[in-house]
């Protein structure tokens, strides 16, 4: 028997390597023949964007730890230095596979469909003339070459902007002998340009901005010899760090957002499709960005593949996309369209994106327009300033209702949008707070107070996902609409905590981080463990985005050793090692990758057949348990409980189309069996909405 006091490396996997494995599962969608062609571009772009965030956050943090505390032990038992070395190697391998898939699979398949990303080597005379004209008229006026010499210091390079390092030879009319120049391509410029029809031979033909600039960069250096032109991009630390004595949190965050553009570098990407630059140029770049050669990543293609997503917006061919899908409406709202009346009758579950996000918009719309509504309180993590939901909050405030918005200024990469929304709400007369200093408010809560027949009644929405209309179309999440008095009491209490000050009030049903959610999970796992030791049936099924918390993982190992059957459905990174004899042979970990992003947090504990089910805003991670305000809601309605178990757990465990099984070393393989094909996502589309898809379920 393996003990949970063993070396951490024997029982825990590295978080960063787990994320890279997730990116590989997404990349595999590009090689899947069942995925429509334009969707393959989207998946490739998702991998590219994920890699950006990986370096902005995870690698940046490892670099800092390695610099300040190289022997710092991570939860998996690795030192920061060792973890960084492993991650760098894994990323190099991932890069190789990304560009192999791009060149060997995606580009040829696009060509077969008459969609051509035309390399400059294949431009005919007419196309070359067009590109020259485009450069002169559209690009040259907005591009600025900066030679590097005593009078021209190396320019500041913003985070993730496309630049070109130009090697020069010769002396100009001023007698200057610059060897290197930098040219920036402003973000406003399109990275992919569609050729006019007359130059496309009946095909959808695109050229890359970087190819046009590379071929014409000598226009900036008349009389000099351009020896090489190399597209590059730097990635910088995206972490926002504020001093505890910040007097104005919003102003401090605004300033930090600006500073982030020029924070410490964590990656230099260099396009080497035209060959390698000389070592002198590489060393100049490395020294300028204060990084080592290990942080240089050589790209066999465009350094920002995510900008290829523009192609999908310019091609109007529905047969190359996923079949159109219309999300359904909960049957309770079909029977009783008045949402307040429907919620008064019973709890309502909304399962996005299979069911529409529209009821949430309707709820806030009614709150803004209904004269009987007195107050609206909401947590905002990711919403967006231009969403109808956000506009409804503004309308409610302008209508004189009390609107309270707890806006999370530290929602990574949404900080700027949230700062802007805060300004708009304040200008409309809303009360805006920024959560609890030192804790992210990650809970998803909406509370509406309405006066009915002289009595105040409260309507609540609690969810596992964000109040964001765009992501609600692709992220799978649960939302609960309820007027249950105990749940309402708890939500009211939680808002009082967030907006006011005082000791934690007693919650009747909801569990909350950072106070008792962690203890709940450990207690529920322990209860199943005791049942198993007493010879009773014991089972845990849990679904989440990440499983990383050390004590929870050790508790799961203990449960497995006692005989508890544990099924974990983890979309992203999982530090637990399944299938180790004597430790975790009763634990299976699977990941579902498909058309929609699996985003639920659902926990089901068998409890002698009672099946205690919870939906939550929290993953099983240290930050969620101890550094965030999170909610975990027990499902009290039996019908809704059955739905949640079926739709988010049972279906996923039956899936043999988009399911990947994890081994003890953190590697994944697609589920393969001879049963009839069953896609959990296709089954949910058929069950809950209207679709033209012919996916086998």
Is residue 20 a contact partner of residue 90, using CB atoms and an 8 Å limit? yes
Count Cα atoms within 13 angstroms, Cβ side, for 228. Answer: 20
- Picking from 159, 615, 646, the residue whose alpha carbon sits closest to that of residue 413 is 159
Residues in the chain: 697
545 vs 616: CA distance, rounded Å: 11
Helix runs in 3-59, H state only? 8-11, 15-27, 37-53
Is residue 464 a contact partner of residue 616, using CB atoms and an 8 Å limit? yes
Q: What is the DSSP letter of 17?
A: H
* Apex 118 CA angle, 117 and 121, nearest 5: 150
The 3 state secondary structure assigned to 268-296 is: EEEECCCCCCCHHHHHHHHHHCCCCHHHE
Please list the residues that pair with 230 across neighbouring strands: 165
- Picking from 602, 539, 536, 601, the residue whose alpha carbon sits closest to that of residue 566 is 539
| 3 state DSSP class of 367 | helix
Specify whether 442 is catalytic.
Answer: yes
- Residue 222 dihedral angles phi and psi, to the nearest 5°: -60, 130
Contacts of 682 (CB under 8 A, 6+ apart): 657, 693, 695, 696, 697
* Apex 56 CA angle, 52 and 57, nearest 5: 120
Q: What is the DSSP letter of 129?
A: H
| 3 state DSSP class of 124 | coil
Task: Spell 479-498 as b/e; 16+ CB within 10 A means b.
Answer: bbbbbbeebbbbbbbbbebb
CA 50 to chain centre: 7
646 vs 640: CA distance, rounded Å: 10
Residue 219 tokens, joined = 């226009």
143 vs 220: CA distance, rounded Å: 9
Residue bearing tokens 């591009």: 143
- Picking from 158, 296, 156, the residue whose alpha carbon sits closest to that of residue 238 is 158
> From start to end of 453-574, where are the E strands?
455-463, 475-482, 511-513, 539-544, 565-570
558 vs 2: CA distance, rounded Å: 10
* Apex 321 CA angle, 319 and 324, nearest 5: 90
Contacts of 678 (CB under 8 A, 6+ apart): 651, 654, 655, 656, 657, 696, 697
Is residue 381 a contact partner of residue 445, using CB atoms and an 8 Å limit? no
Query: Exactly one of 163, 216, 351, 442 is catalytic; which is it?
Result: 442
Is the peptide bond between 514 and the residue preceding it cis, with omega within 30 degrees of 0? yes
63 vs 69: CA distance, rounded Å: 10
| 3 state DSSP class of 111 | helix
Could you list the active site residues? 442
């Amino acid at each position: 028997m393996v003990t949970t006091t063993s070396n951490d490396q024997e029982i825990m996997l590295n978080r960063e390597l787990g994320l890279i494995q997730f990116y590989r599962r997404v990349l595999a969608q590009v090689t899947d023949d069942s995925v429509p062609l334009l969707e393959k571009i989207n998946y490739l772009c998702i991998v590219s964007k994920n890699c950006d965030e990986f370096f902005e956050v995870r690698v940046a943090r490892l670099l800092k730890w390695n610099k300040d505390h190289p022997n710092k032990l991570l939860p998996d038992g690795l030192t920061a230095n060792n973890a960084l070395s492993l991650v760098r190697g894994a990323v190099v391998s991932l890069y190789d596979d990304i560009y192999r898939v791009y060149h060997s699979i995606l580009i040829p398949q696009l060509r077969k469909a008459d969609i051509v990303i035309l390399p400059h080597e294949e431009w005919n005379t007419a196309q070359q003339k067009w590109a020259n004209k485009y450069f002169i008229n559209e690009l040259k006026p907005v591009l600025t070459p900066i030679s590097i010499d005593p009078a021209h210091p190396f320019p500041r390079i913003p985070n993730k902007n496309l630049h070109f390092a130009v090697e020069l030879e010769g002396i100009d009319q001023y007698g200057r002998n610059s060897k290197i120049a930098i040219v920036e391509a402003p973000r406003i410029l399109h990275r992919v340009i569609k050729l006019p029809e007359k130059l496309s031979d009946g095909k959808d033909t695109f050229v890359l901005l970087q190819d046009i600039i590379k071929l014409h960069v000598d226009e900036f250096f008349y009389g000099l010899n351009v020896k090489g032109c190399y597209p590059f991009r730097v990635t910088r630390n995206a972490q926002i760090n504020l001093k505890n004595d910040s007097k104005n949190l919003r102003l401090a965050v605004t300033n930090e957002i600006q500073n982030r553009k020029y924070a410490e570098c964590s990656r230099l990407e260099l396009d080497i499709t035209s060959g390698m630059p000389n070592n002198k140029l590489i060393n100049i770049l490395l020294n300028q960005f204060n990084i080592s050669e290990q942080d240089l990543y050589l790209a066999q293609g465009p350094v920002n593949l995510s900008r290829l997503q523009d192609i999908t917006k310019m091609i109007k061919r529905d047969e190359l996309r996923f079949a159109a899908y219309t999300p359904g409406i909960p049957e309770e709202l079909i029977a009783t369209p008045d949402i307040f009346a429907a919620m008064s009758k019973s709890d309502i579950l909304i399962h996005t994106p299979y069911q529409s996000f529209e009821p949430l918009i309707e709820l806030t719309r009614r709150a803004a327009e209904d004269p009987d509504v007195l107050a609206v309180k909401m947590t905002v993590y990711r919403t967006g300033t231009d969403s109808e939901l956000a506009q409804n909050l503004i309308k409610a405030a302008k209508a004189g209702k009390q609107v309270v918005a707890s806006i999370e200024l530290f929602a990574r990469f949404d900080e700027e949008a949230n700062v802007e929304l805060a300004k708009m709400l304040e200008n409309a007369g809303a009360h805006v707070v920024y959560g609890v200093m030192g804790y992210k408010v990650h809970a998803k809560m909406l509370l509406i107070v309405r006066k009915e027949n002289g009595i105040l009644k409260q309507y609540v929405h609690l969810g596992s996902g964000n109040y964001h209309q765009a992501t609600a179309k692709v992220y799978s999440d649960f939302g609960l609409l309820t007027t249950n008095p105990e749940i309402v009491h708890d939500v009211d209490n939680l808002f009082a905590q967030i907006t006011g000050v005082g000791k934690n009030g007693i919650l009747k049903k909801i569990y909350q981080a950072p106070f008792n959610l962690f203890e709940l999970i450990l207690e529920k796992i322990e209860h199943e463990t005791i049942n198993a030791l007493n010879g009773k049936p014991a089972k845990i099924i849990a679904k989440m985005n990440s499983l990383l918390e050390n004590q929870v993982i050790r508790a799961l190992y203990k449960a497995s050793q006692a005989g508890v059957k544990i099924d974990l459905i983890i979309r992203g990174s999982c530090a637990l090692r399944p299938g180790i004899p004597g430790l975790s042979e009763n634990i299976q970990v699977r990941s579902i990758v498909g058309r929609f992003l699996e985003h639920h947090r659902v926990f089901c504990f068998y409890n002698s057949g009672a099946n205690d089910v919870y939906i939550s805003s929290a993953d099983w991670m240290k930050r969620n348990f101890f550094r965030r305000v999170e909610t975990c809601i027990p499902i009290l309605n039996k019908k809704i409980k059955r739905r949640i178990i079926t739709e988010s757990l049972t279906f996923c465990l039956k899936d043999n189309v988009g399911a990947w099984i994890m081994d003890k070393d953190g590697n994944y393989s697609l589920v393969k069996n001879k049963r009839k094909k069953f896609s959990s996502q296709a089954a949910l589309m058929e069950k809950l909405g209207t679709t033209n898809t012919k996916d086998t379920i």
